[in-house]
Amino acid sequence: MWQAVLLAFLAGVLGANASPHFAKGVTAERFPTVFGSSPVVNVLAGWAGLALAGLCLLGAHPVRHPGGVLLGLVVGALPMALFHATGRTVGVRD
């Protein structure tokens, strides 16, 4: 079961990190990534992050371990969401 929690944690981190990148990319706004800040780079980075999050979630077998997977998702997604909410990414100013 710990593997399911770990995979769900990774899915939460990846999904929460990918969402703002994908959203900024499809709205043609610049947003910093390790690969650059252009909208195209953000769409690609966001799409890749969402795809990896989906694969991690699929590997977590949420039907077999619903409680553990939910816990992993929440514990993974909340810190990443708070990180993005504070704007403490490289190159982002208030």
- Which pLDDT tens digit goes with each residue over 30-84? 988 888 889 999 999 999 999 999 999 999 999 999 999 999 999 999 999 998 8
Domain count for the chain = 1
Segments in the chain forming alpha helices (H): 2-26, 39-59, 66-86
Residue 26 covered by a domain: yes
Mean pLDDT of 10-25: 95
CA distance 92 to 69: 32
Residue 76 covered by a domain: yes
Select the more confidently predicted residue: 84 or 92.
84
Cβ neighbours for 74, distance < 8 A, ≥ 6 positions apart: 12
Residue 91 covered by a domain: no
The range of the structural domain enclosing residue 39 comes to 2-86
- pLDDT of amino acid 87: 74
CA distance 85 to 94: 11
- pLDDT of amino acid 19: 94
Residue 48 covered by a domain: yes
Residue 92 covered by a domain: no
